[in-house]
Amino acid sequence: MPLSDAAKALLAARTGKGSAKPEPKPEPKPEPKPEDLDAKERERREGFRARAKREAERFELATDSEYWVALCFREPHHPRAFCDAVGVEADDNGFVSGDALRAALGDLPPRSTRDRAKALLAARKLDDDASTRMSRSPRPDPLAGVAYSGDLAHDAKAEFDALLTALTAPPDPRPAYLLDSPHWIAVYWPSRDAKEEFLADTGWDVLGDKYLDGHQAASTIRIEMKE
């Protein structure tokens, strides 16, 4: 059946054939150049960029956890012995300024290859201890001793009491793994770069960058602690 002229025109429009051309898409309006902006608009944009930069810096400071290291010790008196030997003071929460620690240490002797090798071997010993710790039996189930009666309210209270007892139990004073010790001090710096520079200067970088054996750290900087 021959097509009518109207049908042919409709078919041509749908297939893109024929004399009708598609309308061109409008080009996006170009972004004005800084020199084309008036003073008020330039000030507004510069203020926004400054605020965005400040927010980015605050976010980095709030989320970066690399500004400190924890020195872990075997006995409760060892953190104080370390501070006394170095000549620094920890605050009530056990924090020590990294800048104060550097000032107390003075000019550090250059680290020899032998010194770094000894520290590295000590760090590997801690890694071996970590493997042993991971293979140990898990802690006892705090709910193992709960006697269930079938009464929901009674059993829920019994479970709560058992969990509270487990969570508030004193930490092991002599943990098998030193870095689990409750006896520690934390050294902090104003920036990541300052921390990494200190670790490199003292040779602590081969011991770790987060949790360190405080006794090995003292030995690395030739500090004798009173045992």
Model confidence pLDDT, tens digit, residues 56-81: 777 766 666 678 999 999 889 999 99
pLDDT tens digits for range 181-222 = 889 999 999 888 899 999 988 889 888 888 999 998 998 888
Per-residue pLDDT, 117: 65
- Of the listed ranges 20-24, 26-30, 48-52, 149-153, the least confidently predicted one is 20-24
Concatenating the DSSP letter of every residue in the chain gives -PPPHHHHHHHHHHHT-SS--PPPPPPPPPPPPGGGS-HHHHHHHHHHHHHHHHHHHHHHHHH---SEEEEEESSTTHHHHHHHHHT----TTSEEEHHHHHHHH-SPPPPPHHHHHHHHHHHHHHHHHHHHHHHSPPPPPTTTT----S-HHHHHHHHHHHHHHHHTSPPPSS-SSGGG-SEEEEEE-SSHHHHHHHHHHHTGGGT-SSEEEHHHHHHHTT-PPP-
- Whether the pLDDT of residue 32 is over 50: the answer is yes
For residue 178, pLDDT over 90 is answered with no
